[in-house]
Amino acid sequence: MIIQCTKALLDRLHININNLKPLERQKQPEENLWAWHANLVNIDRRKAIILMNNKTRYSVVIYRPKPKDYARIKELIQEAITAALRVEGVGEDVITSYLTAGGEIEFTKTADRSMVAKLNHAVRDIEYMQEYLDESSLIQKYISIITGRFIQTAPTSKWYYPLEKMLQCLSLYCNNGEDVLDVELYQLKIRIELEGWDIWRRVLVPSTYSFRHLHNIIQIVFDWQDYHLHEFHAHKQGSKTKQILMDDNPESLDWVDFASCDVVQERFIALKDIFPIYNEVKYEYDFGDSWEHTITLEKVIRSNEFKATFLDGNGERPPEDVGGAGGYQEYKDIMADVNDPEYESMKAWAETQKERKLSPEQINKQLRQSISE
């Protein structure tokens, strides 16, 4: 495998550019699936190694490396590529085949201005989405999910998505043209806890999705408008409560009891890190109305599709800002009586606040877009 480094990265690796030998596989660097361009950059005053695949422009990130990490950079690069592809649902056999075919990592200099320009573009994409960089993790898993779905263009071809092209190439070169995805899907039932009402949705979700993705999914399948704050929490007898928060810096929240619960950010924890331990998770949306959803893992299946899918559901969710359970009951009473003096005004208000009548096809179209948010 070829890693074509900028001078900044070569210097940090203590590699003298004048001592580098020409590499046979560099003849067509843009067409080499086993060649990556790499740069050492500062993102928000923190060091990051950005690797961009030459052929597909799919990127992976090593964040805040320490001196000891540079000493094992070859191993670290393989770990970073593995982690990114694994989160995307690529099968272990395919990942192994790709790394084996690439052989030992060799470092060399960048190819030409065109490839450096593409690498700089990849760096800008990552800087733009830097909120998905987890400061507690050396190898970044979720940033590639986002940037791999950014549209790219090429002079000799139409636009494409880096991830889609990466999967196509892995299929062609590493799996005899067969599907490369081996995705673990969770079938989840999400129920709004509202006495007297049976309101729920059932979805299939990749187990490597983050809880930020799950939040987006819940908003879509219930047609919530994402006006309000939210959080997840999981309970298990004999263990600390796990609070999964949307806040960028949970430690800044003075109302969190850190002694009795473990706090994590929703962007950086996967469903598979929680559901094997906690079979049931709570999701609270709108801390005023306090709509509590119970999320239950019903079963686990395998698939060759990496996507969330709406399956079925029941009941219409309460309107936004209706005033919680009490306000919802008042709303239902008024809407059941056309002679109520507030009927017309309540009906007009509810038109912009209640759940729309969306088809499963419309819901699933929104779900396909939610992965890159």
What's the pLDDT at 241?
A: 84
CA atoms of 312 and 54, how far apart (whole Å): 42
Last residue of a domain, one of 174, 199, 233: 174
On average, the pLDDT of the chain sits at 92
What's the pLDDT at 22?
A: 64
| 142 and 31 within one domain | yes
DSSP codes joined into one string, 249-262 = -GGG-TT--TTTEE
What's the pLDDT at 349?
A: 96
| 161 and 74 within one domain | yes
CA angle 87, 161, 203 (to 5 degrees): 50
pTM above 0.85, yes or no: yes
CB 265 within 8 Å of CB 250: yes
CA atoms of 296 and 316, how far apart (whole Å): 19
**What's the number of domains the chain is made of?**
2
In a domain, 218, yes or no: yes
Can you give the length of the chain in residues?
373
Last residue of a domain, one of 155, 174, 193: 174
| 195 and 148 within one domain | no
In a domain, 326, yes or no: no
Host domain of residue 88: 2-174
| 189 and 169 within one domain | no
CA atoms of 267 and 244, how far apart (whole Å): 9
In the chain, pLDDT over 70 holds for what percent of residues?
A: 93
Retrieve residue 195's tokens: 């006495």
In a domain, 328, yes or no: no
What's the pLDDT at 247?
A: 67
Mean pLDDT of 98-113: 92
In a domain, 332, yes or no: no
Retrieve residue 69's tokens: 């990490």
What pLDDT, in 10s, does the model give residues 350-359?
A: 999 999 999 9
pLDDT at residue 250 greater than cutoff 80: no
pLDDT at residue 155 greater than cutoff 80: no
| 161 and 14 within one domain | yes
Parallel, antiparallel or unpaired: strands 261-265 and 241-245: parallel
What's the pLDDT at 276?
A: 83
| 125 and 261 within one domain | no
Highest mean pLDDT among 17-21, 42-46, 291-295: 291-295
What pLDDT, in 10s, does the model give residues 255-274?
A: 667 677 888 889 999 999 99
Among the ranges given (83-92, 108-117, 166-175, 214-223), the one the predictor scored with the smallest mean pLDDT: 108-117
Mean pLDDT of 37-54: 96
